[in-house]
A and B are shown apart, each in its own frame.
Chain A
Amino acid sequence: DGGITQSPKYLFRKEGQNVTLSCEQNLNHDAMYWYRQDPGQGLRLIYYSQIVNDFQKGDIAEGYSVSREKKESFPLTVTSAQKNPTAFYLCASRQESAGELFFGEGSRLTVL
C-alpha cells in the first residue's frame, strides 16, 4: 500500500529496552526519512539518508540510530537513551529529482 511498508504498526516496550522499527520501500527512491510525531504536534526529523551507506542526523537524533545497508530499507532503532520515546513514527521516501515525500502508515510506540 503506497510502496512504503512500516512494521510493526503498534509496539509496546518496557523502559530500558531497545526496539527497531522497520521501513521498506519498493519505489526505488534514493532518499529516506524518519519523522517523529507527538499528539497534536508537527513532524520532527530524526534521521535521513540520501544514498546507501550514508545518513545524516535530523533535528532530534539523540537516542536514535539508523542504518542504510540497502536502498529499499531504512530501519530505525529507538535506544534506551531516548528519554521519552512514546510517539508515532513515520518513515518516508522521495525521489531526488521529484519533490513529493511518500509516507508509510506509521508505527505507534508506547513505553510501559
Chain B
Amino acid sequence: GENVEQHPSTLSVQEGDSAVIKCTYSDSASNYFPWYKQELGKRPQLIIDIRSNVGEKKDQRIAVTLNKTAKHFSLHITETQPEDSAVYFCAAFRTQAAGNKLTFGGGTRVLVKP
C-alpha cells in the first residue's frame, strides 16, 4: 500500500522566517496531495492541496510544490506568524479497485517563536 514519509517531525522558526515541510510517497498512482493543519485538541483542516497535473500552487503565504518524478511534495509557509504554530500533515490519495484511501504522513509540529 501507499507509504507517506514526512520530515521534519518538529520545526522551530523565528516569526517572519519561512518554514518548509517535505513529504515523499511510494505509490506512483497517487494523484491528489492535500495538506492539513491541526491546532491542539482540534480537528485537522485543509489548508491547501495539489493534484498530479500541477507542479505548484500558491495561496497567499502558503505554497505547495509537487515533483511526480521524484515522488515528493513540499509545503512552504512564508512570513510565518505565531498563529501558524500547529501540527501539519501531508497526505497522498489514489484510486484503487478496492476503494479510495487517503494516507497521511506522520505530521510536523511547527513552532513559530515571536
Nearest CB of B to A9, in Å:
10
Give Cα A101 to B47, complex, Å: 11
Partner of A42, one of B32, B34, B89, B99: B89
B34 touching A100, Cβ below 8 Å? yes
Residues of B within 8 A of A31 (CB): 100
Residues of B within 8 A of A105 (CB): 42-43
B32 touching A99, Cβ below 8 Å? yes
What 1/0 mask marks residues of chain A from 71 to 112 whose CB sits below 8 Å from any chain B CB? 000000000000000000010001010011101111000000
A59 touching B102, Cβ below 8 Å? no
A48 within 8 A of B: yes
Residues of B within 8 A of A90 (CB): 43-44
Residues of B within 8 A of A50 (CB): 99-100
Give Cα A90 to B36, complex, Å: 14
A42 touching B106, Cβ below 8 Å? yes
A41 touching B106, Cβ below 8 Å? yes
Give Cα A98 to B105, complex, Å: 21
Q: Give the A-binding residues of B (Cβ under 8 A).
A: 1, 6, 32, 34, 36, 42-46, 49, 51, 89, 91, 93, 98-107, 109
